[in-house]
Amino acid sequence: MTTGKQGTRPKASQTSKRSTQAITVNDIAKAAGVSRATVSLVLRESPLVHVDTRARVEAELKKQGYIYNRSAANLRRRTSSSIALVINDLTNPFFAEFAAGVDEAVGARGYVTLLGNTSESPEREEAVLASLMEHQPAGVILSPAEHSDGERLERVLGQRSPVVVFNRELTGAHWDFLVLDNRNGARMATEHLLELGHRRIAFFGGHADSSSCRERRAGYADAMRAAKIEPLPHWFVETAPTRLAAATRADALFLDGNAANVSAQDAPTAAVCYNDAVALGLMLGLVRHGRKPGEDFAVTGFDDIPEAAFAAPPLTTLAVDPRERGRQAAELLLQRIGTKEGEERQTTAPVRLVVRGSSCKPKGAAS
């Protein structure tokens, strides 16, 4: 038989109560000697908290193993600390720069970026957006996949969600739209090649049913029409807007519709390319076929990604400043989040021709 005051021994349920009960903001505030409001400010990473106080609260949060339920906090405050960014092709260096610009701009305003990549698949795009919306982002920046359906995406995101669409038009959607000056840019590139003396100029890469490609083709046609030149059918070559696809299609510039070699007088001597990735791929394909870009064939791109200036030869292109465009898209979205109401707006970002070594005079032309 045991003796002693068993009633003074803590029950098992009492000793484990602290370990099983969720730690609250009040617990942290009491232990750190601050107010509940101060703990909340630290959790929201507010700059209003003194650095020493922040350090004391953060130490207590770590000590007690406090886990901040950001989603629940967002619901209570009817706000969100995140922005969703969905890109159509993150393997393209242009979009890596664009994403960096978005992240810089929203980060400066206290948001984090939720990033999704669709790889040009409308089906994946809908799945990615639906998944990201479960995190209740404050808004969405979307660079649409080819063949996206604006009305379907509106159903996924909801008509009240602040959205900025980048560069590709979304028919049926009613969101703010940031677009590059695609038509004018391609016109400038074509005029540059015409001024060098080229008359047989191709438009290479992209898919004609993409709105950005359609606009760039229109700019090319504007310049050719002004020069009284009617492009031949084989001067239009469609490819996926990637380096590999362009490299494998370089020979299409010199074949007719029946895959027969075209005559020397009909073969193009220059190409306006859909984007820099296509232009760099085309230059690789030309070398493979015994032609030297910048010497006996002129090439222009569109975007001015960082490596364009270091290609061999350096690429003549339209400078877009993709990082700045990302910051611009973010600022437009933040403005929309702040105002909510009002008609959708279209903003056109300027482009600038940068002449480098890939655009040469036609072979045999006088210097």
Provide the CATH number for the domain around residue 153: 3.40.50.2300
Q: Are residues 28 and 105 in the same domain?
A: no
pLDDT band at 77 (very low <50, low <70, confident <90, very high): very low
Q: For 337, list phi and psi in degrees, rounded to 5.
A: -60, -35
Q: Are residues 219 and 255 in the same domain?
A: yes
Q: Are residues 206 and 175 in the same domain?
A: no
- Residue among 74, 72, 85 at smallest CA distance from 24: 72
Percent of the chain with pLDDT over 70: 86
> Is residue 70 scored above 50 in pLDDT?
yes
What's the mean pLDDT when you consider all of the chain?
A: 88
Q: How many CB atoms lie within 10 A of CB 284?
A: 17
pLDDT tens, residue by residue, 195-250: 999 999 999 999 999 999 999 999 999 999 999 999 999 999 999 999 999 999 99
Give a yes or no: residue 367 inside a domain.
Answer: no
Q: Are residues 160 and 104 in the same domain?
A: yes
CA distance 276 to 71: 40
Report the pLDDT value the prediction gives residue 69, as an integer from 0 to 100: 62
pLDDT band at 134 (very low <50, low <70, confident <90, very high): confident
Q: How many CB atoms lie within 10 A of CB 50?
A: 9
Q: Are residues 220 and 268 in the same domain?
A: yes
pLDDT band at 8 (very low <50, low <70, confident <90, very high): very low
Helix (H) or strand (E) holding 164: strand 163-166
Structure tokens of 2?
């045991």
Classify residue 115 by its DSSP letter.
E
Q: Are residues 316 and 256 in the same domain?
A: yes
The H helix count followed by the E strand count for the chain is 14, 12
Report the pLDDT value the prediction gives residue 7, as an integer from 0 to 100: 41
Domain range enclosing 29: 22-68
**What Rg do the C-alpha atoms of the chain give, in angstroms?**
28
Give a yes or no: residue 5 inside a domain.
Answer: no
- Residue among 119, 159, 123, 124 at smallest CA distance from 140: 159
Q: Are residues 86 and 157 in the same domain?
A: yes
Give a yes or no: residue 359 inside a domain.
Answer: no
Q: Are residues 267 and 341 in the same domain?
A: no
pLDDT tens, residue by residue, 260-317: 677 778 899 999 999 999 999 999 999 998 899 999 999 999 999 999 999 999 999 9
pLDDT band at 258 (very low <50, low <70, confident <90, very high): low
pLDDT tens, residue by residue, 344-356: 899 999 999 999 9
Interhelix angle 51-64/36-43, rounded to 10 degrees, is 90
Q: How many CB atoms lie within 10 A of CB 36?
A: 14
CA distance 264 to 365: 15
User: Which range is least confidently modeled, 61-65, 91-95, 102-106?
Assistant: 61-65
Question: Mean pLDDT throughout 181-187?
Answer: 98
Classify residue 293 by its DSSP letter.
B
pLDDT band at 161 (very low <50, low <70, confident <90, very high): confident
Give a yes or no: residue 234 inside a domain.
Answer: yes
Q: Are residues 190 and 315 in the same domain?
A: yes
Taking the mean position of all CA atoms in its chain, how far away is CA 193? 29
Give a yes or no: residue 2 inside a domain.
Answer: no
Give a yes or no: residue 64 inside a domain.
Answer: yes
Q: Are residues 166 and 241 in the same domain?
A: no
Give a yes or no: residue 195 inside a domain.
Answer: yes
Question: Mean pLDDT throughout 59-84?
Answer: 72
Provide the CATH number for the domain around residue 37: 1.10.260.40
CB of 276 within 8 A of CB of 249? Answer: no
CA distance 47 to 49: 6
CA distance 55 to 318: 48
Q: Are residues 214 and 315 in the same domain?
A: yes
Give a yes or no: residue 42 inside a domain.
Answer: yes
CA distance 93 to 307: 9
CA distance 147 to 223: 28
> Which residues, other chains included, contact 135 with Cβ-Cβ below 8 Å and sequence gap of 6+?
71, 80, 82, 84, 114
pLDDT band at 35 (very low <50, low <70, confident <90, very high): confident
The alpha-helical segments, DSSP class H, found in the chain are 12-15, 17-20, 25-32, 36-43, 51-64, 70-77, 93-107, 122-133, 150-157, 182-196, 211-226, 243-248, 276-288, 322-339
Question: Mean pLDDT throughout 3-9?
Answer: 41
Question: For the purposes of burial, counting CB atoms within 10 Å of the CB of 245, is it exposed (0-12), middle (13-18) or buried (19 or more)?
Answer: middle
CA distance 300 to 277: 11
CA 93-282-230 angle, 5° bins: 115
- Residue among 242, 172, 215 at smallest CA distance from 348: 215
Q: Are residues 152 and 36 in the same domain?
A: no
Report the pLDDT value the prediction gives residue 142, as an integer from 0 to 100: 98
Instruction: Read off the pTM.
Output: 0.76
Could you tell me the CA-to-CA distances from 206 to 87, 230, 250, 350 in Å, in that order?
Answer: 17, 20, 13, 21
Percent of the chain with pLDDT over 90: 68
Q: How many domains does the chain have?
A: 3
